Amino acid sequence: VMSDVHVTEHPARIGILLDYSDGRLLFFNAERGLVLFTIKHKFTDAAHPTFALEKAGVLTLHTGMELPEFVKHI
């Protein structure tokens, strides 16, 4: 599944939440708690959620972060 997402603001941090068993992939503004894009898909194989920057910039990857509170209720 490949989708273009057009964001109207420029978040400094983007979070990715993959709920494999429920078939949900969310990209969200990690600072404001706003969901940018959601994909519902029945995963049957390995999933590799990724995104690309439209313009050159700096990208830092953080793993193992605690699940944001707003996502726990979606």
Task: Single out the residue of 60, 49, 47, 45 nearest to residue 27, CA to CA.
Answer: 49
Residue 61's identity, in one-letter code, is: L
Arithmetic mean of pLDDT, 63-70: 68
pLDDT tens track for 15-59: 888 888 999 988 888 888 888 888 898 988 888 777 677 777 776
Alpha-carbon span 41 to 55, nearest angstrom? 28
Query: Alpha-carbon distance 71 to 11, whole Å?
Result: 17
Q: Is the pLDDT of residue 3 over 80?
A: no
Segments making up each domain of the chain, as ranges: 1-43
Strands (E), 2-58: 14-19, 24-29, 34-40
